[in-house]
Amino acid sequence: MNITLERDSPLSAERITAPIFLVAFIGVAWSLVNHDLGFSILGSGGMLLYCFGYVLFTAKAIRRKRFLVYNTLAAIFLIPIYMAQGNWPAFGMSVAWSAVSVYRFWNLTKQERRVS
């Protein structure tokens, strides 16, 4: 089954990611008042970004480089809650996942420059 999403589709990248980034921003702001709740909200934004980034990428609504940016940001959004909870395996995974995504993004950018 091949799913294609139009720019004005309810599942377009802009319509999905804008509320997710708003959730992440609220989490950061709220963490100044209540760390646990703010980090939980930020982490929820990260989880949503992972999930919907994957949906958008597999539906070919976004390209690989944007998918890698979403993966990097999602991993970074989750790091504070993992640290606060002392969940070191998940913390390590998020750090590694963001590093791999940044590395792959950098390699794709180098390849594009060579082709140009």
Secondary structure (DSSP) of the chain: ------TTSTT-HHHHHHHHHHHHHHHHHHHTT-HHHHHHHHHHHHHHHHHHHHHHHHTTSS-HHHHHHHHHHHHHHHHHHHHHHT-HHHHHHHHHHHHHHHHHHHHHHHHHHHH-
pTM, entire model: 0.85
**pLDDT tens readout for residues 26-58:** 999 999 999 999 999 999 999 999 999 999 999
Q: Is the pLDDT confidence value at 74 over 90?
A: yes
